[in-house]
Amino acid sequence: MTNHIMLQGTSSHVGKSILTTALCRIFYQDGIKVVPFKAQNMALNSYVTKTGEEMGRAQVAQAEAAGLEPIVNMNPVLLKPTGNSCSQVVLMGKPIGNMSAKEYHTGYSLKAFSVVKEALKELSKEYETIVIEGAGSPAEVNLKANDIVNMRVAKLLNAPVLLIADIDRGGALASLVGTLELLDEEERALVKGLIINKFRGDITLLEPAIDFLEQKTGKPVLGVIPYLDHLGIDDEDSVSLEEKIHTASNGELKIAVIRTPKISNFTDFDCLEKEADVSLYYVQAGDSLGNPDLILLPGSKNTTEDLLYLRQSGIEANIKMLIAQGTPLIGICGGYQMLGKAIYDPHHTESTLDSIVGLDLLPIETTFIPEKLTTQVVAECPGFQFLDTTIVASDLHGYEIHMGRTEFLQEGFTNPFIITERSETKAHDLDGYVRSDGLVMGSYIHGIFDNDLYRRSILNAIRVRKGLTPIENTVNTARAKQDSYDRLADTVRKNLNMDLLKEIMATKQ
């Protein structure tokens, strides 16, 4: 019989995803065949599986921590906000359309729960333990009747629940007590313990509060997890962007990421933060772009709206001024589409506009189409000029998620990449565009900077431009990620009552 443990929170962003990742790693280290699960995820950060399905990045990190290849059964429902209280609904990795919040929560979510149950059934056939992540709070009384990700899952599986609060925000005790009070008797019975997360300071000063909690609620506090900075693990959603640095620090290379309202897959650039010579910072309306050595324009869930945002905020004019002064810019996916002369939306895939003028930095045009391309890719970089350096790299891995078809408007251009595989099928497709002066380039490939040689080649080209010596050694992204999972697991082991956790999981409900 499969064991279960479910992590729910008193609110969003209390650490459910990270602690789920930690437990997946701990059980994996202990030789247990463990799998993560989240019934429904709302995030703009997504990933494409080997078979071409789209899922939330949080479950990807959890799968990696469990030593698994991500599969869509780990996250059967993904909601990708598009704006105006509307989301694209992705069911078992494939988009089925856009729905308003009301349409989804009152008319569709319970229908989707049948898919959730089937996904759980399939995972239960293969794995000894399922670590389940909830979403938001289980005590949202206005959403509870149609909620398919918290207590409905716990009741279905009779799964023990650990309730998590973020003490760094303040009000942790009240939020734990209040959440339990708002649950009904059956739901409260499923909560077997409490976790206080993101603690800074002297644990002895917290002990009276722990005693109070246990007496007040009748639930044991399984642990107090310290605040962990610079985890090096992919963030789930744009809430974590609030914690990103908004001004350049002391790194030799200043890289500015344009933070648009509908920014997606910002984790494309997390690997750059790990490089010792890089100062990565995020810029939005009202912030100073400064004098960066490189500008990055990320993907977007609504390219049209984000392009208008750049124009109306004055960021577009600032970007063009910096490029004219010799600052390079790289756009990924939606950011790549924005760099062209125009974007056409004949089917009103993103907005009511039929078309919009682009930044006019590359001689390309993009037309949105109803079908979404979701595929993992392997690519070669045979050689293109970036600043004063020829960039060459091979066996580059990444993925594509987009609904646009981009056309090149002139001959003699350079494509930076040749895609040689799509979802493990041989291909020979040209990707991206590099301007003749090497200052502007774009690509559809997400995760391209995770490739160590390519990333360091780009950074070294900037170093050479600045008169700095190139750096031969670079961060091993894959190894650093595994080390982060181990560090997280070690910290949680030390601060969580693992014996009590195992006892809770082993007890028949």
Q: CB–CB of 3/123 below 8 Å?
A: no
Q: Is the dihedral of CA 412, 417, 419, 423 positive or negative?
A: negative
- Which of 229, 230, 198 is closest to 480 using CA atoms? 230
β-pair partners for 226: 199
Contacts of 479 (CB under 8 A, 6+ apart): none
Query: Which strand (E) or helix (H) includes residue 474?
Result: none
Q: Is the dihedral of CA 479, 485, 486, 491 positive or negative?
A: positive
How far apart CA 432 and CA 65 sit, in angstroms, is 32
Contacts of 345 (CB under 8 A, 6+ apart): 304, 351, 353, 354, 355, 356, 367, 368
446 is catalytic: yes
User: Identity (one letter) of the amino acid at 456?
Assistant: R
Residue tagged 């992705």 (tokens): 90
402 is catalytic: no
Q: Is the dihedral of CA 50, 56, 57, 58 positive or negative?
A: negative
User: Identity (one letter) of the amino acid at 12?
Assistant: S
Catalytic residue, candidates 4, 13, 402, 446: 446
Three-state SS across 124-187? HHHCCEEEEECCCCCCCCCCHHHCCCCHHHHHHHCCCEEEEEEHHHCCHHHHHHHHHHHCCHHH
Catalytic residue, candidates 86, 333, 381, 402: 333
Residue ranges in 183-263 assigned as alpha helix (H): 185-190, 207-217
**Catalytic center residues:** 333, 446
